[in-house]
Structure 1
Amino acid sequence: MQTLLKGKVVLITGGSRGLGAATAEAFAERGADVAISYAASSDKAEAVVAKLRVKGARAIAIKSDQADLSTAKPLIDAVIAAFGKLDILVNNAGIAIQGQLVDDPTLDGAAYNRQWQVNVMGTIANTRAAAPRLSNGGRIIFIGSGLGSFVPFPGVADYAATKWALAGYAKGIARDLGPRNITVNVVQPGIMPTDMASDVAGELPNREAILDMHPIRRIATLEEVAETVCFLAGPSAGYINGETINMTGGFGI
């Protein structure tokens, strides 16, 4: 496992905490050189980098606010300046604004619009900046959400739509980049133990009832989602392309 991705360079957006940090560690354990981006949490980002270096990886953290589309090209430039190339892009960064119905007269339009800006437009900007410079045979992996495929409760329309938009975009660029043997896939986790999930937990209906809808009645671990991302980035997944993998314990079947 320590050499499975040796010599590969990966950029993980939103890598200072949660799934992004766990994914960075998983890549480092497989021998990859790792760049993470972060919007504000410099202390957390540097702590992740320190952990990665202890594992023997070359690692850097780059400040880049995904809401600002002009930061996309400088982000990719910084990764290539540090490591000489980019093989794998993990589009992990995103925010969750949930809880209000679309017909709520007090709907916070600015917050919901920012969610579209970060989750969709910012992700697309990073992907466009990376695509022409990504190594042939490279990988692009989007972190979506199980809510992109199945919406069992109200108040998440915009969040679900931002994640489903990425799934459609991924299929399109899988077609565009296929001639260069670049694969593009989406991992759609369910509820995970992250700060973002905790922030919105109070806005959800009965959490126990939601867990009852899972055939495997628990939330996903960060490590098992990170393992799946690493698999898609590895040599055994070279013919998996344009796919959406739900990691929701059977939620929605």
Structure 2
Amino acid sequence: MRIDLTGRRALVTGGGSGIGAAIARTLGGCGADVAVHYASSADGAEAVVKELVADGRRAVSVPADLTDARQGTQVVERAVQELGGLDVVVNNAGHLVGRAEVADMTDEHWAEVMDVNVTSTFAITRAAIPHLRRSESGSVVLMASLAAENGGGKGSVAYAAAKAAVIGFGRGLAKELAPDGVTVNAVAPGFIGQTAFHDTFTPVDARPGMVAGIPLGREGTPGDVAGVVAFLASPLSSYVTGHVVDINGGQLFR
């Protein structure tokens, strides 16, 4: 059975590169119209939009700093204006920012990690709720992480805490929106290669050891995450809500 998102209107945050770009392309490939948000990856977002338009989709790129809740509202308003409504919100935007142990962590670092991962998710979702409620089958997909469950690597306590907060936010929101027929789920990727995240924060010489600890014996790809997101954005998952889907090759079982 093919995932069919024809007629669905989706917003993907952080869609200009890596996992977000793969999600936007996959949703469009399944028939959805897509608004692609970006913070700094303008060229990447425009490339994704051009591909989607060439395939017959409606698509638009939308810049914003989502740590500012007002800009989050503006992103949703622009997506609704361009697409004629909103059925799917994928809160992919997030970042480790940098590694810092708690004893040495500044207030500014903690706040920045929380803002880019948690505040951005809150702002976009809050603004989208009225539109999702008007959808026949609204869907919210949040981006968690394996770090939320195992504490992450050295110096990533703030990131692990932020992604755990995203999971808690999603489970609570799933209860709030269930009466409206809106589902809320999260994905929790493990080691996903081909991303700026690991290019920046995972040394090349550390990768073989990481892969050795993954039962499936390989890095994940952005497409591995995008396929799960497409399922959660589709009617095929209409009876799944409040769930976290682990995408880690068997690295951690819950």
Q: TM-score, normalised by structure 1?
A: 0.93
User: 1:37-56 maps to which residues of 2 (within 5 A)?
Assistant: 37-56=37-56
8 Å contact kept, 1:26–1:230? yes
Aligned to 2:128: 130
Q: What secondary structure sits across from 1:226 in the alignment?
A: helix
Q: What secondary structure sits across from 1:184 in the alignment?
A: strand
Alignment pair present for 1:196 and 2:197: yes
Q: What secondary structure sits across from 1:149 in the alignment?
A: helix
8 Å contact kept, 2:12–2:89? yes
Gaps of 5+ in 2: none
8 Å contact kept, 2:14–2:20? yes
Q: Structure 2 counterpart of 1:227, which letter?
A: G
Are residues 197 and 4 of structure 1, via their aligned partners in 2, closer, same or farther at CA, if it must alter by over 3 Å?
A: same
1:151 shift after superposition:
2.8
Q: Structure 2 counterpart of 1:247, which letter?
A: I
Q: What secondary structure sits across from 1:103 in the alignment?
A: helix
1:136 shift after superposition:
4.1
Aligned to 2:66: 66
8 Å contact kept, 1:143–1:186? yes
Aligned to 1:216: 216
User: 1:202-241 maps to which residues of 2 (within 5 A)?
Assistant: 202=203, 206-241=206-241
The separation in 1 between residues aligned to 2:153 and 2:81, in whole angstroms, is 45
8 Å contact kept, 2:146–2:152? no
Are residues 246 and 3 of structure 1, via their aligned partners in 2, closer, same or farther at CA, if it must alter by over 3 Å?
A: closer
8 Å contact kept, 2:35–2:62? yes
- Percent identity between the aligned chains? 36
Please list the CA deviations of residues 167-207 of structure 1 after superposition, one character each: whole Å capped at 9, or x if unmatched.
010000100000111100000011212012211113x9943
Q: What secondary structure sits across from 1:15 in the alignment?
A: coil
Please list the CA deviations of residues 81-130 of structure 1 after superposition, one character each: whole Å capped at 9, or x if unmatched.
112110000000111134321113xx354233211111001210111111
Q: What secondary structure sits across from 2:102 in the alignment?
A: coil
Please list the CA deviations of residues 127-160 of structure 1 after superposition, one character each: whole Å capped at 9, or x if unmatched.
1111122124210000111111123643111111
Q: Structure 1 counterpart of 2:122, which letter?
A: I
Q: What secondary structure sits across from 1:75 in the alignment?
A: helix
Aligned to 2:111: 113
The Cα RMSD (Å) is 1.8
How many residue pairs match? The answer is: 250
Please list the CA deviations of residues 223-243 of structure 1 after superposition, one character each: whole Å capped at 9, or x if unmatched.
121011001111110001100
1:3 shift after superposition:
7.6
Larger CA deviation: 221-230 vs 149-158: 149-158
8 Å contact kept, 2:17–2:45? yes
Are residues 85 and 98 of structure 1, via their aligned partners in 2, closer, same or farther at CA, if it must alter by over 3 Å?
A: same
Q: TM-score, normalised by structure 2?
A: 0.93
The separation in 2 between residues aligned to 1:224 and 1:114, in whole angstroms, is 28
Are residues 208 and 109 of structure 1, via their aligned partners in 2, closer, same or farther at CA, if it must alter by over 3 Å?
A: farther
